[in-house]
Amino acid sequence: MLKGKVYKHGANVDTDAIIPARYLNVSDPDELAKHCMEDTDADFVKKVKPGDIIMATTNFGCGSSREHAPLAIKAAGISCIIAKSFARIFFRNAINIGLPLLESNEAVANTKDGDTLEVDLSKGLIKNLTKGAEFKAKPYPGFMAEIIADGGLIEHTKKRISRRRA
């Protein structure tokens, strides 16, 4: 069960907003986390508490393929991201590294910045504790459910490789 305060954004939050390209000369998640969302909200890293949740409307994570983006968000302490939709590469990257993403139009429409949410990943349930409302996220498609069940792409691929060898 995940629980935290919501940081709400609008549409098309791009990967340069999540982690500016000028910091991509390192790949250590904790270093990257220091600059997470810096150009949008300079104090974000100071304010965010472990478990907090980022919420956005459509096309979250558009732009670059940099995995540094979900890595920075995860290392900053964010427990999951809820949006109406995600950019394709960001979606893969986040799932691959074990940062949960949930898509739910209703949850986004009925949640305000600062609300507290509780998320049950196994059931795909999003509870808005501030408002006392409950929403269901879209189920994960095809292979993605398998990757999540295996604990990320690396573990999933390890399994595939050992099956091939056998």
User: Which residues of the chain form contacts with another protein (CB under 8 A)?
Assistant: 11-12, 14, 16-17, 20-22, 24-27, 38-40, 58-59, 62-68, 70-71, 85, 87-89, 92-93, 96-97, 141-143, 152-154, 156-158, 160-161
Q: Considering the complex, what minimum distance in angstroms separates the CB of residue 120 from another protein?
A: 25
Beta bridge partner(s), residue 62: 14
By C-beta, is 84 or 127 nearer to another protein?
Answer: 84
* Element housing 46 (H / E): helix 44-47
- Residue 65 or 120 with smaller CB distance to another protein: 65
Is 129 or 154 the residue whose CB approaches another protein more closely? 154
Nearest of 118, 87, 83, 90 to residue 8 by alpha carbon: 83
CB of 130 to another protein, least distance (A): 29
Q: How far is the CB of 147 from another protein (least distance, A)?
A: 8
Q: Are 39 and 16 in contact (CB under 8 A)?
A: yes
Exposed / middle / buried, residue 165 (Cβ in 10 Å: 0-12, 13-18, 19+):
exposed
Nearer to another protein by C-beta: 78 or 153?
Answer: 153
Least distance to another protein, CB of residue 106, Å: 20
Structure tokens at 89: 């590469």
Identify the sign of the CA torsion 87, 160, 122, 94. Answer: negative
